[in-house]
Amino acid sequence: MNIEELSKSQLILLTILVNFVTSVATGILTVSLLDHAPAFVTQTVNRVVEHTIETVTQAAPAAVISAPAPSNQDLVTAALGADAARTVAIYSAENGTSTPALAIGTYLQSARAIATAAQDALPKEVLIEFPDSSYVPASLSHEGDGIVIYGFADTAKLPKTHAPLLVAAADLKLGETALAISVDGSAATGIVARVTDKGVYTTLPDIGTGSAAVDLSGNLIGIAAGVTHGLLISADTISALLSSTSTEATSTSATR
């Protein structure tokens, strides 16, 4: 067979075979030469091999530990950045952006929903302003236990952000870091001070009704109730409302 007629795969296999045969032949030749070489030559070769193995062994741990662990400051900065990327402004759909925002909310990408604290001035139809300055209409989906959920149409194009986990109140630990972006855009830090049936008490200052608080991983701890400084409506309430909304939507579709 002419070598020019070989395919690419056959050429690669032929190259591997030639390299393998060459390696075996080189090894056999080296062993044979060492058997007939003077003792001092053999000792020198053995020392070189041993020294090479020691050098590689000592350098291996240093190569593994190459990336330093993120500092606490890095974690705080990343968590606040994720929180800010999910913070939205809520406007009345009737008045649009000609009037100040009615409230601040948190975008929950995986649920295609906005969560905020319940207020008297919140209408059923709203306009959501995202951090990228895009506007998308939304409608009241569900409310209860101090939380309001707005949902979007199935055809609505929504920005992509880091989807937070909703941290259950039972998983929170006393002294755990709590971070938030206030209504005025300033960063606030505190800790989880107490967890009760009424909500999650933190040492956060007044961050504004509807503002979200997150942990060091950027996951949602709760939403400021606006009644008491540092008091958050737990993420459990949001999870329950989202589940209720999903169940109702499924039931309605089945009925139809």
* Whole-prediction pTM: 0.68
Candidates 202, 183, 186; CA nearest to 194 is 202
pLDDT class of 139 with cuts at 50, 70, 90 = very high
Whole-number pLDDT of residue 117: 95
Q: Give the whole-angstrom CA distance, residue 79 versus residue 214.
A: 7
Domain edges within the chain: 87-151
pLDDT in tens, 34-59: 566 666 556 666 666 566 666 656 65
Band (pLDDT 50/70/90 cuts) for residue 30 is: low
Say how far apart CA 206 and CA 157 lie, in whole Å. Answer: 33
Q: Report the SS3 class of residue 182.
A: coil
* 75, 78, 80, 84: CA torsion to nearest 10: -170
At 154, list the tokens.
């199935």
